[in-house]
Structure 1
């Protein structure tokens, strides 16, 4: 499996038989969608679901399937879209995508909690904006590290709960270089060897 991060929470997984993109949002490089066979959205927030880019994709390549929780359907409106929920298993690109979870992490009691699902693909887990721990083995965790809804202590507890042998940070577009360095240093010190940063646009074998 080859993994490429395209900014913020967007990753592309190339299986050898196709390409799956997760969370192409407004902070991500639209090039992630080039040649994609399927797109999976964790939730409706624009930093995870760039609806203008997805509309263009649906117009140019109507064969590409787009998946996500039912809350995303209002954002995508007339774009062809398949609703998924926890425990679904979707065959795509020569592999399977397993769906976990239901809710976005709590930002504040005054802010409504939207639907959010996580995706497990060949042992690589993308939780979206949640701390849902899948009841399945995870060999590589994509962990959110910076957000208005997140404390770094929560990310560390989540990493430890999942207990994956490899940990890659995502959801970090709001950090400048100094902020990234601080987060990386703390996670490297507390998590150790499993923590690795994948630079944007660099394909890595996972």
Structure 2
């Protein structure tokens, strides 16, 4: 499996000639979902779901799996190609075996209503949680780790890694981090989380 980090929370995974893309949002590259056989979307926030990017992928032949709030914006135009999934569901997309974990977005502030959010476990190995610190109900080899967001702080991120116990963490949700902050987060996560930590510059690939 080849994983390519895109900007912010978007990742591309390739296996056996097929491509799966998770969370091509407005902070991601314009072509983040181009050429995808399947697109997975964790929730409706624009940094994870850009409708124009996803519609372009659908028009080029991709299929989409996501939660209802996103599926409702696409289903009518692409009947049979946009599937609604939720916690506990399993399916196959672009040759990847996918499990859905989680139900709610992390709390941003008590005064703001929580929206739905799902995470995707791919081939029982790579977990992308979207905007939540969801702990899957099974071991995880590689955790795509939301390192910086309005809804988290570094101590919570460290404790999340400790609870999941992955073999490796790779940064996502990092578009708001400056170059000055990267070494601080790298050091804290490496020293405290208990798992090897890798930060991939956008466009960089890693073989799992």
* Deviation for aligned residue 1:74: 4.3
Instruction: Give the structure 2 partner of residue 64 of structure 1.
Output: 62
Matched residue SS, 2:32: helix
Instruction: Give the structure 1 partner of residue 52 of structure 2.
Output: 52
**Contact persistence 1:41–1:69 (CA under 8 A):** yes
User: Scaled by the length of structure 2, what TM-score is found?
Assistant: 0.93
* Deviation for aligned residue 1:33: 1.5
Give the distance between the partners of 1:58 and 1:105, measured in 2 at CA. 29
User: Structure 1 pair 84/193, CA: closer, same or farther in 2 (3 Å)?
Assistant: closer
User: Structure 1 pair 76/179, CA: closer, same or farther in 2 (3 Å)?
Assistant: farther
Give the distance between the partners of 1:46 and 1:87, measured in 2 at CA. 25
Instruction: Give the structure 2 partner of residue 93 of structure 1.
Output: 94
User: Scaled by the length of structure 1, what TM-score is found?
Assistant: 0.94
**Contact persistence 1:2–1:204 (CA under 8 A):** yes
Determine if the alignment matches structure 1 residue 8 to structure 2 residue 8: yes
Determine if the alignment matches structure 1 residue 166 to structure 2 residue 168: yes
**Contact persistence 1:141–1:164 (CA under 8 A):** yes
Matched residue SS, 2:181: helix
Matched residue SS, 1:176: coil
How many equivalent residue pairs? 204
**Contact persistence 2:161–2:194 (CA under 8 A):** no
Determine if the alignment matches structure 1 residue 175 to structure 2 residue 177: yes
Larger deviation, residues 131-140 vs 68-77: 68-77
1:103-135 deviation per Cα after TM superposition (whole angstroms, max 9, x unaligned)? 000111111101000000021000000111001
Give 5+ residue unaligned stretches, structure 1. Answer: none
**Contact persistence 2:162–2:194 (CA under 8 A):** no
Instruction: Give the structure 2 partner of residue 204 of structure 1.
Output: 206
